[in-house]
Each structure stands twice: as structure tokens, then as C-alpha cells.
Amino acid sequence: MNHVAELAGIAVALLSFAYAAWLYLWVKNQPQENKTITKVSGLIQQGARAFLNRQYKLLFMFAGAIAVLIFLVLPAPIWRSTFSKNLSMAVSYVCGTLFSAFAGKIGIEVATIANGRSAEAAQKGIKPSFMVGFRGGAVMGMAVVGACVFGVSLVYYVLRDTQAVLCFSFGASSLALFAKVGGGIFTKTADIAADLTGKVELGIPEDDPRNPAVVADNVGDNVGDVAGMGADLFDSNVASLAAALVIALKLDNASGFNNNVETVFWYAALGLLASIIGVMTARIGKHGNPTKALNSSTYVTTAIYAVLTAVVTAIFGFSWAIWASCVLGLVVGVVIGITTDYFTDDTKNPVHAVAHASATGPAFTILSGVSYGFMSALPAMVGTGVSTLISYKLCQGIDPNYSSDYALFGISMAAVGMLSIVGMIVSNDAYGPIVDNARGLAEMGELGDEVLEITDELDSAGNTVKAVTKGFSISAAGLTVIALLGTFMSEVNTAATALGLDRLTGFDVMDPLVMFGMLAGAGIPAVFSAMLMLGVDRNAQRMVEEIHRQVKADPGIIEGTSDPDYEKCIDIATTGAMKELIPAGLVAILSTILCGFLGGVRAIGGFLVGNIVSGLLLALFMSNSGGLWDNAKKYIEAGHEGGKGSDAHKAGVIGDTVGDPFKDTAGPSINTQITVVSLIASLLSTAFLTLSLFK
Amino acid sequence: MNHVAELAGIAVALLSFAYAAWLYLWVKNQPQENKTITKVSGLIQQGARAFLNRQYKLLFMFAGAIAVLIFLVLPAPIWRSTFSKNLSMAVSYVCGTLFSAFAGKIGIEVATIANGRSAEAAQKGIKPSFMVGFRGGAVMGMAVVGACVFGVSLVYYVLRDTQAVLCFSFGASSLALFAKVGGGIFTKTADIAADLTGKVELGIPEDDPRNPAVVADNVGDNVGDVAGMGADLFDSNVASLAAALVIALKLDNASGFNNNVETVFWYAALGLLASIIGVMTARIGKHGNPTKALNSSTYVTTAIYAVLTAVVTAIFGFSWAIWASCVLGLVVGVVIGITTDYFTDDTKNPVHAVAHASATGPAFTILSGVSYGFMSALPAMVGTGVSTLISYKLCQGIDPNYSSDYALFGISMAAVGMLSIVGMIVSNDAYGPIVDNARGLAEMGELGDEVLEITDELDSAGNTVKAVTKGFSISAAGLTVIALLGTFMSEVNTAATALGLDRLTGFDVMDPLVMFGMLAGAGIPAVFSAMLMLGVDRNAQRMVEEIHRQVKADPGIIEGTSDPDYEKCIDIATTGAMKELIPAGLVAILSTILCGFLGGVRAIGGFLVGNIVSGLLLALFMSNSGGLWDNAKKYIEAGHEGGKGSDAHKAGVIGDTVGDPFKDTAGPSINTQITVVSLIASLLSTAFLTLSLFK
């Protein structure tokens, strides 16, 4: 095989960086004149930078330790391996963390300059304001997917070793653990502490600059939704490519067709290209509908991707079954996003039912929200199951001698397909917090009601689109970890062959080790998310104490004559987030390692399966319930069921407070947890195979 | 094989009936003199009878239809089978419903006469009052397990056909679906409606006879906790025996050892005998501790069972590996019960933490309760996994030619062991609602503060013990359905051999049909419980309307001059419960059948696995969170975190209201749902094998 495909990946990635740079400069050149907006926006930027710096510092200590461990034991203990081989693993791992960190940094930088500019642009109408928000988000989208394709292509080009790609992916997951989980704890800590002290105790409105937590709250939107979400999708995207590459290389070496690795790289490159075109063509009419503009650019990207990959498949003679699996994954992803939207959209029955139940009292807000959240999981789970089933069946016939490997390759390519338009998805998702911040800034900068109407409309479009992308990203992570399960089995078999042991043909649930692993693994996402939610609560209590201290020490803060110490609050939320995240991360990682050394590869296979199944269920439940409660509260605030100030509204606020850590901390963090666990299992497969207590 | 073992089962069952009759008469002969108590107790009895009559009427229509279907298609379509064989299946099914219904009826009858007598006995001290409550509960315990052992022994003795035993088990599950799920909806409908109208709107205390819902509320305790819980454990117990018998008979016919069926019957008979002895020896000192009395009789029963089975094993030369699996299951069950207790006990950290969080507001009550509920699932899931693993490993060596069948037999015997002391468990569990009712009656009958102190202590012991038995019964159901999964595979293989098809060796999660089934199956318990919770809400709204109508139509009700129409409320709760239960039941049943005809036996295998894993997780989460909120509220009411009337108390009440349908409707109903689904899969295995779209 020649290296054209990886080079194509690198070329398109460089193109996306160039486009991101152009978009960044365009956003930066938009006017920002209002003094208050400039000041507050600057504070948010400083706060976000402070958070990232501290987080990255801790992360690099953690990553450094892991890199040393990797150097010592992977792909084999250093005394049985070569220096350069183990070094390349450790370096790939570090690159994975660095590339993701770089993308997150870029995203945060642009988001915190786009927010104020989007607010001011709203004075000229919805179109310019939308463009600032959208192009700001697109910088993040381009940076994330560009870094992903660039990194994977580069590592593979230089090392031609899929174990190194797995290490790169593990690096990305480590960063996601910090950025997504830590960011999720930070954002809800600040949100809850600001609400509890501001609205409840001090009786000052939301986003009031006298509240010491207000900057932390706005910073939280950016570090949770922009940097965290970017790291999460970077992680899933890299993992799907890594899973596909492991099997593709194996097939290239063994079967009669040797263009599988090429297929993976071409498809990844084209996904990024389709996203670039999608972003370039996104338009909103002068009085246009921002939701429509965002969704239609997603559909455009999907269509472009399907066409581009078909062309390349025809030119290079790739397998049409693989192409079909890939497109199927993409279509199922979009459909899952749309069905998820049903459960959180404020024009649909579930939101109305929860709002109506709220009139009876907060207990009924919770009960109905939990119920619809439970229901919302089924369509996405069946959809993930269907794409697994069909892509398997489509691809197993490619080469009858390697039918099960091709079937696994088909599943991993469905995951690659589902994640192919992730550039567009990240763009749309990062748009949300920018216009959300813009709305707050427009209020603080007193830009007038007409401007607020525009920013409200843009913000509401962001929320709607966010529901779609969230369901999409959870399902994509689900399909990716199913592909990683195949990778794990493939790695086990490679190791078993090398050791002269029996090959593993699968994970049979009637095998008691698999069943044991499955039951234990299914419990882990529940414990992990519980620890995060309790962590948010503890951390919020710390911040509340600090706010009390400040307000007591300087009465001028509430009188508005002196500035509160915003940074101290940011500092507490940051340190606390890291403190709460580490035990939860360790529980997930150590339980995997413990299960592997106790029960061996079959117990770990079961552990991964249980983890995937219960992780998907809980992630969908928590994300969707949370979104539903948020929108039910807004629906009541819009004047239904008694409107603002009614009992229904009070109940709705309680539902929303429960939903916040559900949807922004625990739910989406489960994605990262299952990916981390799957990658650890793959990387340690040889150790589990040889050193376990039970075999 | 001779029939001594089944006859031993029948003999011990008859002994338990005789003892139950003696206990019943003893309870009935206790004095009941207070007029108010006699009146209200009579109303509760009438209401419970009305509910059961209506429920049984609907059930027998449903069961009649199913019996006809069974007659037409099982074990094979009538045109390819014999009349007598198909008839015996249908009759076994009907017997399963009748035996369970009979036990439930007996239990309700005695519980509703024991409540008032226990209240009055409290005037003479804690000892006589405890004995009335405990012996009343023991009637139910003896009736449930006696009917179970009698029924299974009789069906097998007459027909010697394990398919018929599966049909008997399916009958028991059908009844449990109505009794447990319908009772669960009824009890929370009445509870919520009574609270919403009484305490909130009318401002009258709990258990006030002016509230039209008050009798329905007390009836609910009996039909949910006594009849429902009895049917649930009857169901699990029969299912565990059925699962063990299917494999035991297969092994008796094939392997060198032919005493496996004997082992099952002897062990079942001895479990019942141990429970009889345990109940007989239960004692409480004059100023004794009722919790200790209840728990120590459980430990006594466990020890007696271990000794008795060891003696029988030695005498008849049964396998010691099977004995060890059985005892292991029992010990793990008790240990799981104790760890579950940790999360709901009001002297332990979780309850204190939730009470403390409540001081910040109801959202934090919910968040912390959900978190601890999530955590509580892990120990029970790992425990279930450990007993599966160890019993498999212990038994696979019994006959090397049939190692996997003996391994499955070991798992099913661990389930039998876990459920062996179920007579004691049901006794303890039925004690709870009796003394709970007694407490209310003592208040209405104005028996004085000293009496109330005693009934409070007895009630509190009931709540503590309930937490232990609930964790126990969920885990026992989990292990039973894992055994049923083995039965399903065994049935599939029998059918496959008969049809000349390939044997199934297991359910490999890397098989896409299994994976598809698993993802779909994992979503079902969530949808099922969501439908039940929404059903409780809708049904409570109907009852609230009726209460409003009555209070408006006759002002004398609130003035206390005229009696409300209690029966109308009971009627609404009953009809509504049946109306809400049927769609949820159909979703579970039809999705299984759909999945089977689409994806065949492998998809169904996956479906069962997903169902078990997510069902266990959700059932444990909901039951334990619910218990935790209940006790956190009581802990606050006892004077902590501000005590009654404080903000923490208000938040605690909201948590408790959320927890009620969690722990009494949705959580425990999942047990029944997974058993029903497993039995349907086993019974339809031939159809799924031959008629499915995918193979």
C-alpha cells in the first residue's frame, strides 16, 4: 500500500486548519465597542483560560505518569521489547492528549471572543449575529476534527502500527476524562452555587455582576459545553478510527483485499471535507430561521459525504458493502438525533406533559421526567442495534475466509460513518454556548429589547440543536465502543496466537466469567455517575461558602460599589472539579483492571458489554431527562400552566436543577467512561490473557 | 427414579398448610373489642376483597385466553401434537394462576383480621402484639411456599413433564403480573391521591376517616405489600424450581447420575420445612427487640436449611457440589440483603446525607437519593455474578461429559438455595403491612400513647426488615432469570436436535443478532417501569377528581356528619390499575415475541441478557432510592435537620413522594417483567427457532 490515503487525511486536515484560521480572524475582526460587554467578556475569557491552564497542568502530570507506565509495559514490558517501540507508544499517547488539548484551547479562545461580538452584531440584525456565533463555533468544529484526522494520519504514517493509534486514542480519552468530566463538574458547580446564593439568598437576578459566582457561571458554559464537548467528540472520533484501523490492518495483512486501511483514511478525510463544505455553505436569510439553517447544513453535509465517499469508492475500487455500512451509520445517527429531539422539544407531548404534571407539585415533575427519560433510551438503543446488525450482515460476505473480521470491520465503519460529520456537529454544538453567552452579555451591556429578542431566538435554536447533537453523540459513542469490543477481541487473538494459546471466538454470556463481568460492568456507569453528581453537590457547597465569606467581608459587593473576587470562585470550582473527578475516574479504571486480573479476557469482555449496555441506557436517560426538564421549565416560563412565579414554575425550577447535573455532568461523562474502559481493556489484553487468576 | 422426593414435597406442603390453618385460627381467636377498630378493619377487609375479586375476574379472563392459546400451540401446534398433551399444558398453566391466587387470597384474609387484633394486643404489651403481627404474616408465608411446593410437586408427579412445570410457572408469572404490578399501581394511586387531597387541600391529618381515599390507602398496603409481594415471590420460587427441573430431568436422562430431579424436590421440601421450624421458634422477649426477633429467625432458618440439606445429601448420596452451590446462593442472598440495608438504614451514612442535602432544597434530595440508589446496585450485581461464577465452577466437574449442563444446573440450584428460605422471607414481609395497619387503627381507635409507642416500634421493625427482604428478592429474581436463560438454551437445543438443526452452544455477544437483542432488551425494563409510573400518576388524577366530586356533593363529609363513599374510590383505583397495567404488560410481552420472530433464538438470548442486566440495575436503583427517601423523611421527622415542618422536611416529603412509585410500583414490578419475558422465551423457543426472519 502506498501512503496516499494518510497524506490525503493530512492534506484535508491542513485545509481545515487554514479554514479555521480564516474563520478565527473573521470573527476577531468583527466590531466590539460596548464597554461593559468588553469587560465582562474579558473576565470570562480570563476565567476560562485560568480553568484550562490549571486543568491542563494537572492533566499533564497525570498524563506524564501514564506515559511513563506505557513506556514501561506497552506493547510489552520494556525488558522484553525494544526501547524505540515502547517509546513510540508513550509518545503517541502524549500526542493524543496534546492534539485534543490544542483543539480545546482554540475552541475556548474563539468562543470567548465570539460571544460579545455576536451580541453586538445583533444590533444589525439576526443574520450578522448568527454568522458570528456560527463561525465562532465552526472554528472549534474545524479544529477538533482537523486535529483528529491529522493526529491519527500522522501517527499511522510515521509508525504504521495500530497499537500506537490505540495509544493515541487513549491519550484523547484521558484528556476527555479531564475536560468533559472536570468541565461538567465545574459548570454545574458554578451554576448551582450562583443560583442558590444569587436568586434564592441575595434576591438578585441571574447574570447579575454583583454575584461573585457570575463569571464562573459563564466560564462554565464555555469549559463544559465548548471544551468538554469538543474533547468528548474528539475522543469518540479518534476511537472509532482506531477501532477500524486495528481490524483494517489485520485484514490488509491477511485477506485478499488490501485497501481497507486506505478506505478508513479516505473516508475520514472526506468526512472532514464534507464538514468544511457544509460550514462554508451555511446561510441564514435576512429574517431566516436559525434552527433551520443549522439543521439544513447538517443534512447538506450528510448528502455531500455520501456522494464524495461513493465517488472515491468507485475510483479506488473500495468495497461497496463498507460504503453502505458507513452511510447507514450516518443515516441512523441522524435519525436517532431526530427521535431524541422528540423527547426534549417544547412543541411535543413529553415537554407539555411534564409541564402539566408540575402543576401538581415537584414530585410529579420528577416522576414524569424520569419516566419520559427512561422511554427515550429505547429508540436510540434499537437504532444502535440495527446499525450493528445490518453493517455486520452487509460486510461479512466481503471475503468468506475472513467473514467475522469483515463483519467487525463493517461495524467499526458504521461508527466511522456516524462520526464522519462530526465537524458539522461540533460546529453546531459550540454555537450554543456562544449565543447563550451573547444573550447574557446583551443584557449586561443594555443593548435593548430588540437585540434581546434576536439573541433569544438564536439561543433557543442552540438549545434545540443541542438536543439533537447530544443523542447523536451518545449513540455514536455506543457504536464506537461496540467496535472497540471487536478490537479488544482482535487484540486478544493476536496475543493468543503469539503465545500459542487458543483463539477466542467471542464472548458467550453462558460462560460464567462473561456473565460475572457483565453484571459487574453494568454497575460501573451507575457508580461513576453517582460519584460525579455527589461531587457536584459537595463542590457547590464549597463555592457557596466562599460567596458567603465574600459578601460578609465586603458589604460593598451587594451595594454594587466594589467588585467581588470572581477569580477566587473560579479557582474553587476548578480545584474542586479536579478533586471530585479523580476518585470517579479511578473507580472506573481500577475496577476494569481488577476485573481483568481476576477473571481474565472473558470477564473483561463481559465487563465491556455490561458497561456499554448500562452506560448507553443511563447516558440517554440522564441526558434526555435533563433536556426535557430544562425545556419544560422554559415552556412554563413562556406562560403555560400558570407561567412565571406559579407553583408549576417552582416545580419546574426544581426539575431543571435536578436535570442540570444529569444532562451536563453525569450523562455525557458516561461516554468518556466507557471509551476509557474499552481502550484500557484493549491495551492491557496481553496482560489479562496471561496473568489473570481465573482463565 | 421413585417418587419419594415429590411425595416428600407434597407431604411438607400439607404440613405447612396445616400449620398455616392453626396460625390462622390462633390469630382469629385473639380478642377484638374496640368498635372503631372493628369497623375500619372491616372496611379494609371489604375493600381488599373487592379489589381481589375484580382483579381475579379480569385475570381469569386473561388467563383463560392464554390457556386456550397454550392449548392450541404448546408444546407443539395441536394438529401436530396430541389432545391430552396440549391439554395438560393448558391445565398446568391454569393451576399456576390458581395456586398463586389461592395463596394471595389467604394472605389478604388473615392480614386484614390480624391488623386490628395486633393493635388491641398492644394494650397488653409488645410481646402479644408482635406475635399477632408475626403469626398473621406467617400464614401468608406458609400459604405461599406451601402452594408453590405443592403445585410444582403435584404437576411433576402427575405429568413428569418439565414443559408442564414451565407452563405452571408461566401461570404463576401471569398472576404476579396482575397482583404485583396491578397492586403496585393501586397502592400508590391511593396513597398519592389521599395525600394530595387530605394533607394538602383539605388540611386533615393522615389516616383521617373523613378522607374518601383513606380506606383505599389502607387497602393498598395489603394488596400491594401482602398479596403483590406474595405473588412476586411465589413467581420467583416456582421459576427457580422450574429452571432447575428442566436441566435436572435432562441430566437424569442422559448422564450417569440420575438423582438430580430428586435433589431439587428434596431441597425445596427442606426449605419449606426449615421455614416452618423458623416460624415456630420465632420469639421476642417481654421487652424484646422486634427487629432482632425477625432477623434472628431468618438466620435460624438459614442454618437449619444448611444442616437439613447436608443430612439428606449424605443419606441419599446427592452431589456435594450441588449442596455447596445451594448454600452459597442462600448465603449470598443474605449478604446482599444486609448490604442493601446499608443504603436504606436510618443509622447509616446514606440516609443522613440525603436528609442533610434536603436542607438545601428538594432538588438535592432527589440528586443525592438517585446517586446513592445508583451506587446501591453494584454490590447486589457483583454478588449475583459471584454466585453464578462459583456455582458454575463447583458443578461443572460433576460429570465431565455433561460439564456445561451441570454448570447450568449449579446456577439454578444456587437460585433454588437463595429462594429456599422464602417462607421465612414472606412471613417477615407480610408482617410489615399488618403492623403498619395496626398503627393506623390504634390511632383511629384512640388506644392511647403507650400503645402507639409499641405499634410504632413494631412498624419501624417492619420497615427495616422490608429493606433487607427487598434486596434479597430482587437478587433472587436475578439469579432465577439467569437460570431461566440456561433453561431457554436447553429448550432450544432439545428443539434443535428434534429438528435436526445445529445445537446452540451459547449466546455470543459478538454475534450481531445477540448484540441487537441485548440492546433492545435492555431498553424494555426502562420503558415498562416508565409506563407504570405514568400510569400511577394518571390513575391518581382520576381518584383526586372523584374525591373532589364527593366533597363538593356532600359538605357533611368534611364536617364529619356523613360517611364518604369509600367503595367508589376503591373501585376507581382498581379499575384504573388494571387499565394502566395492561399496556405495560403488553409492551413487555409483544416486544419479546417481535424480537423472537425477527431475530430468532440468538436475538432472544441477547434480549433476555439485556433485560436481566438492565432490569436488575433499574430494580435495585429504584427500590433502594425509594426506601432511602422514605427513611430520610422519617429521619428528618425524628427531629434532625430542623425536624417536622422545616424546609428540609418539605424537601424530604417530595423525595418520599417520588420514591413511593419507585419502590412500590416500578422497581419490584421489574422482577415480574423479566420472569414473564424469560418464560415466554422458553415456551416459544421452538417457534422462534423455526419461524424467525433472521436465523
Core vs surface per residue B414-433: b (16+ CB within 10 A) or e = bbbbbbbbbbbbbbbbbbbb
Angle at alpha carbon of residue B157, lines to B156 and B158, rounded to 5°: 90
Let me know: does A277 contact A304? Beta carbons within 8 Å: yes
Helix axes A422-444 and A449-499, enclosed angle (nearest 10):
150
Give the per-residue pLDDT at A234: 92
Residue A287 has pLDDT above 80, yes or no: no
Q: Measured between alpha carbons, how far is B27 from B110 in angstroms, rounded to an integer?
A: 8
Q: Which residue has the higher pLDDT, B75 or A537?
A: A537
Can you give the pTM of this predicted structure?
Answer: 0.93
Q: Give the ranges where B638-646 is alpha helix by DSSP (H).
A: none
Return d(Cα A178, Cα A156) in angstroms, integer: 25
Tell me the H-state helices in A421-448.
Answer: 422-444
pLDDT at A598: 92
Please give the share of chain A, as a percent, with pLDDT higher than 90. 46
Contact A166, A91 (CB under 8 A): no
Distance from the first to the final alpha carbon of chain B: 39
How many domains is chain B built from? 1
Chain A: closest CA distance from residue B222 (Å): 24
pLDDT at B239: 93
- Selecting from B362, B515, B534 the residue whose C-beta is nearest the C-beta of A482 gives B515
CA distance A513 to chain B (A): 6
- The pLDDT value recorded for residue A197 is 83
Q: Which residues of B touch A389 (CB under 8 A)?
A: 512-513, 515-516, 599, 694
**pLDDT score for A1:** 53
**Cis-peptide into A564, omega within 30 deg:** no
Residue whose cell numbers read 511513563 = A68
Interchain CB contact of A523 with B (< 8 Å): yes
Task: Give the integer Cα–Cα distance in Å for B117 and B133.
Answer: 8
Percent helix, strand, coil in chain A, to 5, is 85, 0, 15
Confidence class for position B614, pLDDT limits 50, 70, 90: very high
Looking at beta carbons, which residues of chain A come within 8 Å of B694?
389
Instruction: Name every chain B residue with its beta carbon within 8 A of the beta carbon of A511.
Output: 506
Find residues 642-681 of chain A whose CB sits inside 8 Å of chain B.
654, 657-658, 661
Beta-carbon count within 10 A of A1 CB:
13
Domain that holds residue A263: 4-691
**A73/A489 Cα distance (integer angstroms):** 20
Query: What pLDDT digit, counting tens, does each position of A472-511 carry?
Result: 788 888 889 898 888 888 888 888 888 888 777 778 888 8
pLDDT for B457: 86
pLDDT in tens, A321-380: 999 999 999 988 888 888 888 898 888 999 999 999 999 889 999 999 999 999 999 999
Any idea how long chain A is?
A: 695
Say if residue B1's pLDDT is above 70. Answer: no
Coil, helix or strand at residue A508: strand
Are the Cβ atoms of A366 and B361 closer than 8 angstroms? no
Q: Tell me the ipTM for this assembly.
A: 0.92
A319 part of contact set with chain B, CB < 8 Å = no
CA dist., res. B592 & res. A661, Å (int): 34
Q: How confident is the model at residue A15 (pLDDT cuts 50, 70, 90)?
A: very high
CA-nearest of A538, A444, A560 to A212 is: A560
pLDDT at position A75 over 70:
yes
Question: How is chain B split among helix, strand and coil, in percent rounded to 5?
Answer: 85, 0, 15
Show which of residues 336-365 on chain B sit within 8 Å of chain A, judged by CB atoms.
357, 360-364
Name the amino acid, one letter, at A492.
Answer: V
Min distance A498 CA to chain B CA atoms (Å): 22
